[in-house]
Amino acid sequence: MAPGLVEPPRYNEVPSVGIKTLPKINALNYTPGRNVVEKHSEPYEHDDLRGRFPDVHWPPLTEVSYNDKGHLGDPQFKNLLGSASDVFDYNPKIGTEIHGIDLATLTDAQKNDLARLIATRGVVFFRNQKNFDIDAQLKLGSYFGTLHSHATTCVPKREGLENVHVVYTGEDSPDLRALFTPTFLWHSDVTYEIQPPSYTSLKVLTGPPRGGGGDTLWSSQYAAYDMLSTPMQKYLEGLTAIHSADLQAQGSRDMGRTVRREPVTNEHPLIRTNPVTGWKSLFYCPGFVTKIVGIPKTESDHIISYLNEIVATSPELHARFQWNKDDVAFWDNRVCNHSASYGFMPHRRHAVRVCCQAEKPYLDPNSKSQEDDLAERYGLRKATKDGSGVVNYND
């Protein structure tokens, strides 16, 4: 617990008549909604990982080969979990937390299991990874595939780390939530690329104290697909969506920053198959999808609004992570949207992200949904989607 949150014990003395009472310990020094703000000394220990916007230009990305290491993972994740002290799911659909693992010392067999687990659970969390520095993070990211370099966001001050994305909000930074709708903040990273990322890691170097805000939420696109009715699933499986980088690039230019790679627009299937699990998922990004192809604009707009609602407002699809310093999240960008939460000022929030390019999105019509596969495997009852039945709301 941070210094200053707890007062030293004091003893209450009762006046009087020579009767001694047992000492009483005062309650914790607690103020609702208020946290001690950490004072950061200079030089800041992670100063080399603060952000900069280099004035450089890169050529367009070209297609690269991709061999998903998740195919090599053990179906029971025995190599990875054999060293774990605890593992638990956040809910049946998404999110797993593992304790007792040092990400900096994984064997190749453990890395393969990790990839398979991320593809299966969507997002996997590790606490207190002090040894997992940026060099180790890049090494693990490179093991999974060709690293992606972002065209507009800031990169570390340290030279040679241009494929690291820096998240940095200082104590005096403005709260920008009023600039966006809540659904727009939900996104899957750079889905406009021809090969959007798969395995993505984010490590928080400095962040708000417990209860200080700055959580991140993930939304399962496996589960989003399963929320659709069978006729809607079939309808969307025949459609593609336009993913565009134009708005993001223009925002950078408006702030006087260099767009290091010219923005691209790509068309991807609205439903895709994950090659590791074989499960179908929605592949929809509120922040980058501008149009559903081949249907009237009114219909496209309504589908976009409908999918926004599913992604952003369905609690059973979500996993919420309350960060501590040196915590790491790994997620599969192919099957998750995510959204950071505001409301953490005046705390500093500093993180670094690494991701690799995946396969070009595709749909295998013979692939299954997560719910169908698990229902067959474990004899689970599937959700009723036709609106029938009368039950009390489960609040």
Bond from prior residue into 59 cis (ω within 30 degrees of 0): no
Question: What is the structure's pLDDT at 21?
Answer: 58
* Residue type at position 389: G
* Residue type at position 390: V
Average pLDDT by stretches of 10, the chain with 395 residues: 35 44 68 89 94 97 97 98 97 98 98 98 98 98 98 97 95 81 91 98 95 95 97 98 97 95 98 98 96 98 97 96 97 97 91 98 97 95 82 70
CB distance 273 to 358 below 8 Å: no
Domain regions of the chain by residue span: 47-53+66-378
Distance CA 78, CA 11 (A): 53
| Tokens of residue 327, six digits | 């915590």
Distance CA 147, CA 49 (A): 18
User: Which pTM does this prediction carry?
Assistant: 0.91
Q: Please give the CATH number for the structural domain made up of 47-53+66-378.
A: 3.60.130.10
**339: helix, strand or coil:** strand
User: In angstroms, what CA-CA distances link 166 with 46, 144, 145, 349?
Assistant: 11, 20, 20, 11
**67: helix, strand or coil:** coil
pLDDT digits (tens, 9 = 90+) for 270-299: 999 999 999 999 999 999 999 999 999 999
Between strands 216-220 and 318-321, the pairing is antiparallel
User: In angstroms, what CA-CA distances link 331 with 65, 110, 194, 346, 364?
Assistant: 21, 16, 19, 28, 22
Phi, psi at residue 147, to the nearest 5°? Answer: -70, 145
**370: helix, strand or coil:** helix
Task: Show Cβ contacts of residue 71 under 8 Å, excluding neighbours closer than 6 positions.
Answer: 116, 275, 276
pLDDT digits (tens, 9 = 90+) for 335-371: 999 999 988 889 999 999 999 999 999 999 999 999 9
Distance CA 264, CA 61 (A): 10
Residue that is written with structure tokens 């025995």 in the block: 78
Question: What is the structure's pLDDT at 16?
Answer: 43
Cβ neighbours, 10 Å, residue 211: 9
Q: At what angle do helices 134-144 and 108-121 cross, to 10 degrees?
A: 80
Residue that is written with structure tokens 């997560």 in the block: 370
Question: What is the structure's pLDDT at 178?
Answer: 83
Distance CA 221, CA 33 (A): 33
Cβ neighbours, 10 Å, residue 88: 9
Which DSSP category does 60 fall into?
P
Distance CA 31, CA 36 (A): 10
Q: How many CA atoms lie within 13 A of 135 on its CB side?
A: 5
